[in-house]
Amino acid sequence: MDIARVLLIALVVVFVVARRFGGRPLKDRDRLWVLPAVLVLVGVNDGGLVAPAHPLLSLVLLAAEIGAAFGLGLLMGRAMTVWREPDGQLWAKGNKVVLALFALSLATRAALALLGHAVGITPHTGALLLPLAGWILAQGLALAARSHRVPAAV
């Protein structure tokens, strides 16, 4: 994996995290799939999802990474502070629980990467982008579901 790809992934993560902790208006629910879809398309196009030496094991590891990322993303979306401004706009912001879940997400990803490395599976850009897409999508879905329960502004 070259440095440009690593920087691209780091940039996406920084962008997403900054948006989570800076407080932001919740956008149209129809758009929550756009960034994850782009990441999936780039990841699949980039290839490297399956290690030629260990195809089945690499698919199991990729599925575990996507599942863990999606689950932690749901938890992060549920943990975010959500409120409605007087003008009716919904807002969301990260908090200490979200920060702890973010750290757990990074630790989980590192542990799975080390497990893969131990059995001879080298991570490739595509295999990094798919779990990231699941993580972002899960947060958006959780926030969208929660937005229905936020009382209307008075």
Domain count, the chain: 1
What are the tens digits of pLDDT across the range 39-86? Answer: 999 989 988 888 888 889 999 999 999 999 999 999 999 999 999 888
| Joined tokens for residue 40 | 């999936």
72 part of a folded domain: yes
Residues 6+ apart with CB under 8 A from 93: 20, 21, 22, 23, 24, 80, 81
In the predicted structure, residue 101 carries a pLDDT above the cut 70: yes
pTM for the complete prediction? 0.84
- Asked, for residue 154, whether it belongs to a domain, the answer is no
**Whether residue 1 has pLDDT greater than 60:** no
- Tell me, yes or no, whether 152 lies in a domain: no
Largest separation between any pair of C-alpha atoms in the chain:
61
pLDDT at 133: 95
Angle subtended by helix axes 34-46 and 125-147, to nearest 10:
170
* Proportion of the chain above pLDDT 70, given as a percent: 96
Distance from first CA to last CA of the chain, Å, rounded? 52
**Alpha helix positions (H), the chain:** 3-21, 34-46, 55-79, 96-118, 125-147
The candidate with the shortest Cα–Cα distance to 75, out of 48, 107, 51, 98, is: 98
Q: How far apart are CA 5 and CA 2, in angstroms?
A: 6
Question: Which residues constitute the domain of residue 133?
Answer: 3-147
Give a yes or no: residue 55 inside a domain.
yes
